[in-house]
Chain A
Amino acid sequence: MTLTPKTNLKPKVAVYKFSSCDGCQLSILNLEDELLDLASVVDIAYFLEATRTVKPGPYDVGIVEGSVTTPHEAERIKEVRAECKFLISLGTCATAGGIQALRNFAKADEYAKTVYPHPEFLQYLETSTPISAHIPVDLEIWGCPVNKATVIEVLAALLQNRRPNFPPSPVCLECKRRGVVCVAVAQGIPCLGPVVHGGCGALCPANGRGCYGCFGPSSAGNFSALIVSMMPLDRYPNETANLLRSFSSHAPAFRAAADAAFKAAIGKETK
């Protein structure tokens, strides 16, 4: 994919919101040093959080924040795909279903009854699913929220017709690079760092706590070894399992690992 325009037109970028907290879109508005430059090299054609001007599609790049949780969203995402040449999922909701995917492990109707006096007024799907479960996605940016430097890198790479440079290594390696002492080894705190996609800069361990997996699963994570080494450190029942079943719970690797961890916990209890 190249965004190098055949004419002198700037590439048109659209930013969409699905079920989310707005934090990943805000990460674009938080590019305080780059925002005006960005607006000079791309045409921000649709970005409701930033502007009421809506330029008609098709768009060269679509950036989607949020997951699909309503029948309306399941339809709308198809329209989004149809009007965007290159489609990016922005953040953990869009790439894995987000925190609201916790409903996938329960009954959404029960939740609706808990929260609303008239659940019958609501329209929602039983599950919260990533964008890729509905349409083909060209690139996924993980993070809850995304690291804004990654957003700039992706847009710059598209403009320069090259592959974006993502950190291939897990959070665990980012700790080593930063010189952060391992919280699991030194303090006995369960940490998902060995199996989590890098990109945050090892924020949690640097703050004296274990990684809680908001950047999703690393492609090379050894999940069974993680469970064996972290579960004995649990400070409350099922801490490791709950860490896996939180912000990226619907990601296949995390689903399987959380299931295994819950099962191991039950096995231990019955012994």
Chain B
Amino acid sequence: MKTIEVPALARVEGEGGLHIGLKDGRAVEIRLDIYEPPRFFEGFLVGRYLQEVPDITARICGICPVAYQISSVTALESALEIKVTPQVYALRRLMYCGEYIESHALHIYLLQAPDLLGQPSALDLATIAPEVVKNALRMKKIGNELLKAIGGRSVHPVNACVGGWYRWPDAAPLKALLPELEWGLEFAKETVRWSLTLPYPDLEIDYEFVAIHHPDEYGIMLGDIWSSKGSKISIKDFETHYIEEQVQHSNALHGHTVDGSTYLVGPLARLNLNHEQLMPNAKRVLKDAKLKLPLKNPYKSLIARAIELVHFYEEAIALVKTYNPSGPAHTGIKLMAGEGAGASEAPRGLLYHRYKIDENGLIRFVKITPPTAQNLPRIEADLLALVPKLVKMEQERATLTAEQLVRAYDPCISCATHFLKLKIEEINHS
């Protein structure tokens, strides 16, 4: 048996490895190893006071702390039967716009595009296309500035709490961002046009897409969980339809539908299920792109992210313009024992939380299902579909192609432990 070690998979969040076992040119084994160490959040959250939860769960992922904060506060608010005011809700959407802008700009330009353009990194891309990278960084910075204006800092912002916000952010720094947001909206449209010109590998997969859907807005927090296979369930019923299992090669749990099939969460799922709820500019760029929906090529999730960038810039502009806080920034908490589920769409897909709390507001049980855990079995299945092509390629090219597929998913492996070293084992005919 021959073992080939290839460079660790770069430009993903977290740590993992990819193992493909070949025999007579056919894949006999495929394993996405996650050796990102387990950190036991669901363990040490037990016994903590509920208001500490959004600050602690934020630390599950430095790229999408807002998603963790929002999913946990909505779950806890459900347990406490708290309904937040429309103003509190609008500001949550605005903060989420900041996270989408920062995370999508990072993924499109710094993590995935270098692959499609044959570059090892955005820093290398900057040596041949400096303007592209400068604009990308400017675009990303606007998302971070928005997060900072609302939550004090972009990584692990400090303003969100169960019931609403610690304080209303000052309006002036938010309004001051409008010219940059307007620039960002135009550059996001250009990003969509550019994204259509990139050389995506051919691969069409018949996915079951799963995302939060809301009839009146692009679903990221409120609404039901829709599947492209037709099921429409409320967030509280998530665990009866979607389950997680542990596999030996991974510190991340693996998600399946209750009947054992794989499903896909993330930008392709959201765009395919929710494109009718896009903001007008985003709808127009989608129409001009002449894409055939549903988009089924995992590499083209870059295009879906680009369209979402247009949407979230547009929504951010609308929300900043109408931001005029009045009344209390948070609803008072009346402690009671209870249980509540909540979910929101992290940039990389559906993030579900459920908590049980006691009458003193202490956490008694925690269940967190991150997006990458749900996508891992799907990534493995996609890699398997790619193997007939991989075996015809030279070793180095095969490795790169497989890596690129994994990266296209924007896997956030820190949060799925719940990075990647690629190991292809050629099992000799003997």
Contact = CB atoms under 8 A, between A and B. Distances in A.
Interface of A: 17-27, 29-30, 32-33, 35-36, 39, 44, 48-54, 69-70, 72-73, 98-100, 102-103, 106, 108, 110-112, 114-118, 121-122, 124, 128, 144-145, 200, 203-204, 206-209, 212, 214, 236-237, 239, 242, 246-247
> Which are the 4 A-B pairs with shortest beta-carbon distances?
A23-B62, A111-B43, A51-B121, A52-B10
Interface string B193-232: 0000000000000000000000000000000000000000
Contacts of B246: 116-118, 121
A73 B7 contact: no
A209 B163 CA distance: 14
B63 A19 contact: no
A53 B121 CA distance: 8
A112 B43 contact: yes
B25 interface: no
A211 to B, nearest CB: 10
B76 to A, nearest CB: 14
Contact of A32 (B11, B65, B141, B248): B141
B248 A207 contact: no
A69 B247 CA distance: 20
Given A50-B11, A145-B62, A212-B55, A36 B126 contact: yes
B43 A54 contact: no
Interface stretch (B130-138, B277-285, B375-383): B130-138
Interface stretch (B152-160, B182-190, B264-272, B301-309): B152-160
Interface residues of B, number: 72
B345 interface: no
Contacts of A122: 38, 251
B347 interface: no
A253 B361 CA distance: 28
Interface string B10-28: 1111110000000000000
Nearest to B134: A36
A112 B14 contact: no
Interface string B160-176: 01000011000000000
Contact of A48 (B51, B251, B361, B419): B419
A89 to B, nearest CB: 16
Contacts of B15: 17
Given A23-B65, A246-B56, A111 B44 contact: yes
A246 B152 CA distance: 20
B152 A116 contact: no
B52 A242 contact: yes
A72 B154 CA distance: 31
A26 B120 contact: no
A169 B39 CA distance: 32
B5 interface: no
A30 B167 contact: no
Contacts of A21: 59-62, 65, 414-415
A269 to B, nearest CB: 14
Contacts of A98: 59
B248 A52 contact: no
A70 B36 CA distance: 10
Interface in B96-112: 102, 106, 110
A99 B56 contact: yes
B140 A32 contact: yes
B90 interface: no
Given A36-B126, A50-B123, A73-B37, A23 B156 contact: yes
B124 A51 contact: yes
Given A124-B38, A203-B153, A206-B152, A114 B46 contact: yes
A114 to B, nearest CB: 5
Contacts of A51: 10-11, 120-124
A208 B130 CA distance: 41
B395 interface: no
A29 B106 contact: yes
Q: Of B12, B40, B159, which is in contact with the most chain A CB atoms at under 10 Å from its CB? A: B40
A203 B152 contact: yes
A49 B11 contact: yes
Contacts of A36: 123, 126, 130, 133-134, 137
B403 interface: yes
Given A26-B62, A69-B37, A32 B158 contact: no
A112 B414 contact: no
A204 B51 CA distance: 14
Contacts of A54: 7-8, 10
Given A53-B124, A110-B43, 8 more contacts: A22-B62, A23-B63, A52-B403, A99-B56, A100-B44, A145-B155, A209-B161, A246-B55
Contacts of A22: 13-14, 61-63, 414
Interface in B33-58: 35-44, 46, 48-49, 51-52, 55-56
A48 B166 contact: no
Contacts of A214: 156
Contacts of A53: 10, 120-121, 124
A10 to B, nearest CB: 13
B144 interface: yes
B341 interface: no
A19 B156 contact: no
B421 to A, nearest CB: 10
A200 B36 CA distance: 28
